[in-house]
Amino acid sequence: YNHIAVTVDDLDATLATLAGIGVQPENPAYRPGDRDDLPRIAFVADPDGYRIELIDGGAFETPQDGPHPQAQA
């Protein structure tokens, strides 16, 4: 399940802009697992067929690992 994910400020506006150049989402925008605590997403494909996940809201906080143990040596 390889793809790249990017955040966009306004998913609906982004999809409308992409539609103007012929790019359609795989499916309508949705919240993963119908969870209200997650932003809406949509997948589109680049010209080579690689999937791109668009994440609504301009930012998506993800858990961060601590520093690599060797970096502290």
Please state the φ and ψ torsions of residue 32, each to the nearest 5 degrees: -55, 130
What pLDDT score does 59 carry? 83
Q: What is the DSSP letter of 15?
A: H
Tokens of 30: 């949705």
Let me know: does 33 contact 47? Beta carbons within 8 Å. Answer: no
Q: Taking the chain (73 residues) in consecutive chunks of 10 residues, what is each chunk's mean pLDDT? A: 90 98 97 93 94 92 71 59
What pLDDT score does 67 carry? 73
* pTM for the structure as a whole: 0.80
Closest CA to 7 of 61, 60, 63, 64: 60
